[in-house]
Structure 1
Amino acid sequence: MSQKPQNLVYGVEDPLPLPTALLLGLQHVFVMATAFIFPVVIVRSFGGTAEQAVFMVTMSILAGGVGTILQALRKGGMGSGYLCPAVCGPSYLSASLLAAQTGGLSLVYGMTAVAGLFEVFFSRLMHRLRVLFPAEVIGVVVALVGIAVIPVAVPNFLGIAPGDSVTEALELLVAGVTLGTMVAISVWSRGKIRLYSVLIGIAFGYILAAATGILDGAAIARILDAPLLAFPDLSHLGWSFDAALLIPFIIAVLCSSLKSIGDLTTCQKINDADWRRPDMRNIGSGILADGSSALFSGLVGGMGQSTSSSNVGLSVGTGATSRAIAFAAGALLIALTFFPKLASVFVIMPSPVMGAGLVFVAAFMIVNGLQIIMSRMMDTRKTFVIGFAFIFGLSVDIFPEFFIALPTSVQPVFSSSLALGTATALILNLIFRIGIARRKTLRLEPGTDFSDTVFSFFEAMGGTWGARKEVIQRAESAVNELMEAIVFLGLTRETVRAEITFEEDSLDIDVRYPGKPLDLSPGGAPTDTDLLEDENALARLSAFLIRKYADVVTTDVRDGECRIRLHFDH
């Protein structure tokens, strides 16, 4: 059972009143609207019609609603059970553009459905792939997910768009007021108004954009002219397949899955105050929902779906992570499919307002990634894994012209800082695992200054293993206290041998020495009076501390050799 963090107003399992759920769901839909542009880009890439663009956007919204609900489920292995909405996945953009230019939208839809099937298959393997995703790799992915939002967030914040490279003072004013409102409510507000910080900020942004003319009459006319109720025109639907596009789409879906792993890990972390490591089975269920939404999107005529990092950041910023919000947001998205007038409100969102919302949520994603990285101890190997992943990943955004001439089949890997940085981290993690022993032997001599040896050993191995610092500190304290008790009580003059075994979920220390056994039977701590008057009090204090440090302590004696086993949950 996860422990709800104190900073959450509504935790993942908390029920919400219907009006609250709908308002918070609406807030998430506004953030999700930033991804509606991707289908438009795909249609325009091959000279498609406005009707085709409207159809693809509409069906992508429908798929996003279904995917958001599937992700919030927790039945039969489907869904992670978290608020982690589905949106048009940027990882699919390069492959979808290639398919659109090769065979039109029917090829995009067919290949997207095939990619979804591949992700469904991949999800069944997730629990066997824990070795690929230690905390530092997951942390890099989560941080890069936030960083990958920057190239979209900052140009929109500055009011920069294709054909418009000039930032106007009024655009900066709208962006600044929108972001300032979100931040002010999040930092200084009291009560539950913090839950609606982004929604209130966006509302102020719309009003100010309309007052300053950034939201012009043509945009408002689009809302007025749109029909209130309409059903999608299914004449645009069709499917085709091209084996030559399998590699680009498989690369795209792998990049999308890795991004989703980062998003779902963040969901686990922000919903559990005692979070220690990613739950790969839960993530596998989440990837199954992700793949199912991509499959559904391809079948109904939408773009490939993936979990939304921005919405995960929003849930952190507002302190509302209840999956009831996911059901509300999903229902609203499905409703938008049949109410074009309502959908138009999101389509005309002013760029500065959109940029302000993205900047707000990206900050939380980046910091969460760094927190996951620093939850484990570092050594030179892990420094290289993390450092090189950030360096090469960010090179895509800093020097995009260096990667233009690469073959189209591998373009998805080099399409964003997230894709390349994640690939770098995964490869280097596997390379640097070479030579790491999960079992080490520590020999200590009772007549020497063993404390430095104990602490140096555990600090070095903790970094090599990427262990949690708190566990390593308890382990080294327990072994040092054990040695001091052995020396103080004169239990042996021979070498004390400790076999240390590390696994991702445990640290076990098997201490052996020839001599007299140490009494570690349960008991309370000695009082101050006991320490002054009872000659056995120090031994009782050592036993108490050792049991306090370790999660499980067992002892036995065989053929004159004493054995003490210390187990630490990791």
Structure 2
Amino acid sequence: MTETTMNYKVEDTPPFTKTLLLSLQYALLVVPSLIIPLFLSHIAGASGRVPIQMVAATLVSTGIVTILQAWRGQWVIGSGFFMPAVSSAIYFPASLFALSIGGLPLLFTMTIIAGLFEMFLGFIFRWLKPFFPSFLTGFVIMLVGISLGMLALHKMLDITHYSQTGYNRNLILGISTALLMFALTIWGKGAIRLIAPLVGIVYGVILAYGLQVFAPIAVVNPGELSWFQIPFPNDVSLRFDWIVVTIFFVSGLTSAIRVTGIVATCQNANYDNSHHFSNKQTQRGIVTDGLGCSIAGLLGAPGISAAPSLVGISLINGVTSRILGYTVGGLLIAMAFFPKCLLIFTFISVPVSGAALFFLGTIMTMSGLQLINADRSSMRINLVLSLCLLIALSHLALVNFYQILPSYMLSVTGSLLSLGVLFAIALNIIINFTYKKPIHLILNENIIKDTNVNDLLREKLRNTGISIALKGKVVDSVGQIVKAICLDYMTQQPIMLEVVCKLEVKITIHYTGHLYHLPQFSNDMDNEDAAFTVGLIRMYTAEQPDHIVYKQDGEKCRLVLTYYHN
């Protein structure tokens, strides 16, 4: 979304009527995510008022964090952007794992802890970036999508009722609902693509009624529910188990990564080209997102996180005013006060909810692949990803083997997600630390005039193992800097370059003369379908160095340029 299409930016105030209509639209678009607390309550065997209470708790917590994100206060809370929150599919695999170990008490406890962990990541995320290059970030998101998709596929096909009479109706319901969502995403345009889950759920509910396929959740009689009632939280009991810590930490990490991309997209849409990526706003966005997740656990709801699809719709509408954060958040909280209206969500059948979650898993897998492909990876990177993917998928093929491992290993080996992500992080660190030998390149005026500096630098970097994309980024920006120094800033020859490749590529430029300051580069991108993916790609692929240090001692100048691995 380019700047010229924005009618109301982050600090603008739209007319009251437009604000109200857009707020109703966004509140309606949160509905598909309410499948997650309902689905988890079904898996947990909850009945009576519990499913409705979980939905109400989800609405209250998402409303609170949507308001907090729009706030720009004095503390570390609030990104200052319109970033609506939803019950997040990111936490779904971890939530199912927690339910299988310790039921709802363990789920709520670990949701609180995952939120606290995400808040912690918010304070240190700027220093973690070297450990999470774009290919590894994409791999984490892809694994979350695969894990979610595999779990949802089982429910979409309703395999547990395979032997029952009328199973074909369940099969038709699940497959046709998923196909409609994918069809709208592939052939639809604009906002239609972003509301595909909502359209699919409405279609699934109508078809389920025609096929007489009903939800298995036992709820209270509608007559026992009031039209208006204060949404008292569930009677939340807490339980802790080390086995599920890793997978919830991975979910918190994934949520933090997603928020990073969403904030970058919001910055790109709302500020002119002189404004650059702000670590402070990213930190506040991640901390607020984690706080919202912990609030959800305290109220008796599964994990929540910012929704990139709703940010994408705000770009389509041309209205990203943070005023919407207050109105949408207020509407979400208000919806929780009408339990009889929430009862309708409990009629969504398992094949329909499974189809919606399978669709979300596919979209997350696609987003991960987009991030990986944004970096034309080297053979070393491809080898790491292939090995870790096979290790992760071995959890599906070697179920009996992983079940007999000692209990103290279950925190790592208990799920596909934790197994693959931890191996990927460890291998990336180990392999990158093997590239320690500095590379030196001395350039004088004759070499710079008669030789292509970019070609010389590219040749020096050929066997370092860094990716093609990062190599091109380093060569282009360093080549421009060297030429600029040679033309206007150098008083004595030569220029010396020292290159060190480890967790990051660090290039130190030594020369004698006047200190050169780098101009700021811009990298505008336009994609309304995957807000967080676009933001991350922009952040990882900007032409400028990721970190610059200027040093001067008399006429002796030194520029230290740091490029993080893509």
Tell me the TM-score normalised to structure 1 length. Answer: 0.69
Measured after TM superposition, the shift of residue 278 of structure 1 is 8.7
Q: 2:125 and 2:242 mapped to 1: Cα distance?
A: 21
Query: Is 1:259 equivalent to 2:254 in the alignment?
Result: yes
In the alignment, what sits opposite 1:440? 439
Contact 2:222 2:343 in 1 (8 A): no
Inter-CA distance 161–379: structure 2 relative to 1 (3 Å threshold)? same
SS in structure 2 of the partner of residue 129 of structure 1 = helix
Aligned: 1:30 with 2:32: yes
- Paired position in structure 2 for 1:155: 154
Instruction: For residue 151 of structure 1, report the CA deviation from its aligned partner.
Output: 1.5
Q: 1:20 to 1:79 in 2, by over 3 A?
A: same
Question: Is contact 1:550-1:566 (8 Å) kept?
Answer: no
- Give the corresponding residue for 1:533: none
1:220 and 1:279 map into 2 onto residues whose CA distance is 48
TM-aligned CA distance change 1:203 to 1:236, over 3 Å: closer
Q: Give unmatched runs, 5+ long, in structure 2.
A: 517-542
Residues 443-482 of structure 1: pairs in structure 2 closer than 5 A: 443=442, 453-461=456-464, 463-464=465-466, 468=470, 470-475=472-477, 478=480
- List per-residue Cα deviations over 1:369-396 (Å, max 9, x = no partner): 2232233353344233322332222333
Deviations 1:511-565 (A, max 9, x none): 769xxx9xx9xxxxxxxxxxxxxxxxxxxxxxxxxxxx9999x9x9x99x9x997
Q: Figure out how many residues of one structure are paired with residues of the other and give that number.
A: 513
Partner residue in 1 for 2:201: 202
How many angstroms apart in 1 are the aligned matches of 2:511 and 2:472? 25
What does 1:50-199 correspond to in 2, within 5 Å?
50-51=48-49, 55-56=53-54, 58-71=56-69, 73-75=71-73, 76-80=75-79, 81=81, 82-87=83-88, 89-90=91-92, 91-95=94-98, 97-100=100-103, 113=112, 116-117=115-116, 119-157=118-156, 159-164=157-162, 168-171=167-170, 173-175=172-174, 177-186=176-185, 188=187, 196-199=195-198
Q: Distance in 2 between matches of 1:303 and 1:409?
A: 28
Distance 1:260 1:341, change over 3 A: same
1:187 Cα deviation from its structure 2 partner: 5.1
Corresponding residue of 1:369: 368
3-state SS of paired residue (1:442): strand
CA separation of 1:194 and 1:369: change in aligned 2, threshold 3 A? closer
8 Å contact 1:123–1:285 — kept in the other structure? yes
Q: Give per-residue Cα distances to partners, 1:249-276, cap 9 Å, x unaligned.
A: 6435422311212322342455466999
| C-alpha displacement of 1:62 | 3.4
Instruction: Using the TM superposition, give the Cα deviation of residue 150 of structure 1 relative to its aligned residue in structure 2, in angstroms.
Output: 0.7
| Match of residue 43 from structure 2 | 41
Q: Gaps spanning 5+ residues in structure 1: where? A: 486-490, 521-548
2-structure distance, mates of 1:66, 1:59: 11
**8 Å Cα contact 2:98/2:106 also seen in 1:** no
Q: Secondary structure at the match of 2:77?
A: coil
2:345 is paired with a residue whose SS is: helix
1:382–1:235 Cα change, 3 Å: closer
Give the equivalent residue in structure 2 for 1:543.
Answer: none
What is the alpha-carbon root mean square deviation over aligned residues?
A: 5.2
Residues 479, 324 of structure 1: CA spacing in aligned structure 2 closer, same or farther, 3 A cutoff? closer
Pairwise CA distance, 1:78: 1.7
TM-score, normalization by structure 2 = 0.70
Partner of 2:498: 499
- With over 3 angstroms needed to count, the CA separation of the structure-2 counterparts of 1:51 and 1:349, relative to structure 1, is closer
Alignment-derived partner of residue 334 in structure 1: 333
Larger Rg: 1
- The secondary structure found in structure 2 opposite 1:441 is strand
Task: Look up the equivalent residue of 1:312 and give its one-letter code.
Answer: P
Q: What amino acid is aligned across from residue 138 of structure 2 in structure 1?
A: G
- Give the C-alpha shift of residue 208 in structure 1: 2.5
Residue 308 of structure 2: aligned partner: 312
Q: For the Cα contact (< 8 Å) 1:10–1:319, is it kept in 2? A: no
Q: Distance in 2 between matches of 1:568 and 1:106?
A: 45
* Equivalent residue number for residue 523 of structure 1: none
Secondary structure of 1:94's counterpart equals: helix
The answer on whether the counterparts of 2:154 and 2:354 sit within 8 Å (CA) in structure 1 is yes
| CA shift for structure 1 position 324 | 6.6
Q: Which residue of 2 aligns with 1:379?
A: 378
Is the 8 Å Cα contact of residues 206 and 350 (structure 1) preserved in structure 2? Answer: yes
* Residues 1:378 and 1:479: Cα distance change in structure 2 (over 3 Å): farther
Looking at structure 1, the residues matched to 11 and 251 of structure 2 have their Cα atoms a distance apart, in angstroms, of: 27
SS at 1:17's partner residue?
A: helix
Tell me how far 1:11 sits from its aligned partner.
8.3
- Shift of the 188–18 alpha-carbon distance from structure 1 to 2, 3 Å rule, reads farther
- Three-state SS of the structure 2 residue aligned to 1:338 is coil
Name the CA shift for 1:28/1:415 in 2 (closer, same or farther; >3 Å).
farther
1:30 deviates by 1.5
**Structure-1 separation of matches of 2:96 and 2:560:** 51
Percent of pairs with identical residues: 23
